[in-house]
Amino acid sequence: MENETQKLKRFYKRWYTEEVEEKLTIEQKLNIMRRISELRHKSSLCRDQERNYVDQFPELKPYSDKGEISGLQLCVVMDVIFEELHFPA
């Protein structure tokens, strides 16, 4: 049975692939990955559902319905970008 975190990850992945992916350039995606990677090294970002990182990621801000982006959401975005760049369809 799927837990709440798994549901959120699936939701965030769908959000990124349907709402954001095609609107960002490769350069923007690489920059986003680099910044997320830096945050991951400083904190337990992937478990963070409380802090709002939207202001640190202006490229993603226009696609955030509530004006919020969580740490878990950023980790999912990084994973999807990595897959997209390394394993293109």
b/e burial code for range 13-37 (CB count within 10 A of at least 16 → b): bebbeeebeeebeeeebeebbebbe
How confident is the model at residue 79, as a pLDDT? Answer: 95
Q: Is the pLDDT of residue 2 over 80?
A: no
The parent domain of residue 61 ranges over 4-86
52, two tokens: 């709002």
Q: What is the CA radius of gyration of the chain?
A: 12
How confident is the model at residue 11, as a pLDDT? Answer: 95
How far, in Å, are 9, 14, 69 from residue 56 at the CA level? 20, 21, 9
Total domains in the chain come to: 1
More confident residue, 88 or 36: 36
**pTM (2 decimals)?**
0.89
How confident is the model at residue 66, as a pLDDT? Answer: 87
Backbone angles phi, psi at 18, to 5 degrees: -90, -30
